[in-house]
Amino acid sequence: MLVGNDHIKIFAGSASRQFAQKMCDYLGSPMGQSTTIHFSEGNTYVRFDECIRDMDVYFVQTIGLHSNDEFMELLFYIDAAKRASANSISVIMPFFSYAKGDKKDEPRVSIRARVCADAIEQCGADRIVTMDLHAAQIQGFFTKPVDNLYANSLLCAYAKHKGIVTPNTVVVSPDAGSAKRARAMADEIGCPVAIGDKMRSGHDENAKVLEIIGDVKGKDCIVVDDFTISGGTLVDVAAGLKEKGANNIYAFLSHVVMNEKAVKRIEDSPISLLVSTDSVYCEPALHSDKIDIISAAPMFAEAVRRIHDREPVSNMFDYAPQRMLDMSFTKQVSILDLKK
């Protein structure tokens, strides 16, 4: 699709090399070479290992499990591309962890998402492509174009692919803040919605689900949220659903940012299956029989193709290319395999 185009190049930071490689496999284009070195005292060194003068550079770096190091590395690469005379610099950020800091809801706190947005633009980024921001209004923190992709089409297609969607299915939002996300999924697969009443008392990663609003007795439930760190909310919701008489319980997320302890919590819970994307490389999740990881890389690659070809990105959610869905659910063919 982009093979032979000498004016576009996809590079990756240390947090997203596998993700970027999947994008390149979808596009049929080799990944650009770069070097990242993390020194023992904590400093980071970056370098593009090939000429990028007058090229449209797409740099892939998620901000996930090691947010501070990954974010600084991203800024250094944007600066390096600017100083190397790239024609344009597009940041491909599958997960933006600092999107959680989207508001000043108490005295003397930073709006962290706004600080990050300012830093990305000041370093020289021309465009940002991300997925399922924690709050959609974060796009307004940027003055440059932002493409906020949605995992909903992938997750819905996979739910149908696994045979989870039946006339007995209910989509459950763990709290009021995720109700819009749950409604979008329910509309696409054609089922009702229930909502959890969640309370968070501090700044830790634990929240308590107080009540389930809606009819879930005898139903198969799909709990929908944007991400999980500790798995606590999902487990609490699952327990509440079981108390209300629910049958099978599934969790569908855009991002998983879990450690071994959180994965073990999911495995010991009433949740039958958790499905998420590979926006964050979460190794403990890959080894769990209760967790399925599907790839969002083909969707990001399709967005890059449309941006480069001056096509509307939004159309891909109305008419998702079948090849994109197929490559999201199955092992992708490497560009090296195609050359054999």
What are the angstrom distances between the C-alpha of 213 and each of 4, 174, 184, 197, 334?
55, 10, 18, 7, 46
Residue 264, classed as helix, strand or coil, is helix
Active site amino acids: 198
Kind and range of the H or E run holding 151: none
- Evaluated on CA atoms 288, 294, 296, 301, the torsion sign reads positive
Helix H or strand E encompassing 193: strand 193-199
Amino acid identity for residue 227 in this structure: F
Do 330 and 320 form a contact (C-beta atoms < 8 A)? Answer: no
Owner of token pair 């969607």: 165
| Beta pairing class for 44-48 and 34-38 | antiparallel
